[in-house]
Amino acid sequence: MFESLDETMKHDLKEASSAKERILLWISVAIVSVVVFGGLYVGVRVLE
């Protein structure tokens, strides 16, 4: 049925979550990344 573990994982992910949930997940990951890296940038600028 599946040729690789990657295909199996993709198939399981599609069944486990809706498109809306995946979009919200990626948006939240992007926001957290911006906050973390922005905080690091500001921290380094303050130390200079």
pLDDT digits (tens, 9 = 90+) for 1-48: 557 888 887 777 777 777 788 899 999 999 999 999 999 999 999 998
Question: What pTM, to 2 d.p., does this model score?
Answer: 0.61
Residue at 39 is within a domain:
yes
Q: What is the DSSP letter of 1?
A: -
**8 within domain boundaries:** no
Report if residue 9 sits inside a domain: no
Closest CA to 14 of 3, 24, 6, 22: 22
Q: What is the pLDDT of residue 20?
A: 85
SS3 36: helix
Q: Is position 3 within any domain?
A: no
The answer to whether position 25 is within a domain reads yes
First-to-last C-alpha distance (Å) of the chain: 57
Tokens of 48: 């200079």
**Is 41 part of any domain?**
yes
Looking at the structure of the chain, the number of domains it has is: 1
Task: Identify the domain containing residue 45 by its residue range.
Answer: 18-48
Q: What pLDDT score does 1 carry?
A: 54
